């Protein structure tokens, strides 16, 4: 009985593992966005901002402080606006198109 339960549990774990989509690597994300027309340095800056934001928002959420969460959101919105103020109109349009398709922005 124990052996059957163990085998069934192992089978379920294999099924769950097979059905869980893999998270793409940073390199594959960069390559995909560059292949769609974004410049590599812009992609790197976007990913850096996003990673920093994700880390900071997790900390803010863990604190339970609503004002800190809002301040974190506002700060990163400002950083994105500053970043996109420096890029060409063409790059901004490509990013906006990809963002609508793949929800890149936060």
| Selection from 103, 88, 105 nearest residue 37 by Cα | 88
CA-to-CA distance for 12 and 8, rounded, in angstroms?
Answer: 6
Question: Residue holding tokens 């800190």?
Answer: 68
For the chain, give every domain's residue range: 38-106
Q: Average pLDDT in the 21-46 region?
A: 87
CA-to-CA distance for 53 and 36, rounded, in angstroms?
Answer: 24
Residue with more model confidence, 21 or 84:
84
pLDDT, tens only, 46-98: 889 888 888 898 888 888 888 998 998 899 989 989 998 999 999 999 988 88
Q: What is the pTM of this model?
A: 0.68
CA-to-CA distance for 23 and 20, rounded, in angstroms?
Answer: 9
**What SS3 class is residue 98?**
helix
| Selection from 62, 83, 60 nearest residue 71 by Cα | 60
The Cα-based distances of 105 to 4, 30, 99, 101 in angstroms read 47, 15, 6, 11
């Amino acid at each position: 009985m124990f052996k059957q339960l163990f085998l069934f549990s192992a089978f379920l774990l294999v099924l769950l593992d097979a059905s869980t989509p893999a998270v793409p690597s940073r390199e594959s994300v960069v390559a995909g966005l560059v292949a769609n027309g974004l410049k590599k340095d812009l992609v790197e800056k976007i990913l850096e901002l996003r990673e920093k934001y994700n880390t900071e928002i997790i900390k803010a959420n863990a604190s339970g402080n609503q004002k800190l969460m809002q301040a974190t959101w506002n700060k990163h919105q400002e950083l994105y606006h500053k970043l996109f103020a420096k890029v060409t109109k063409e790059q901004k349009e490509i990013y906006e198109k990809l963002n609508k398709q793949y929800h890149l922005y936060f």
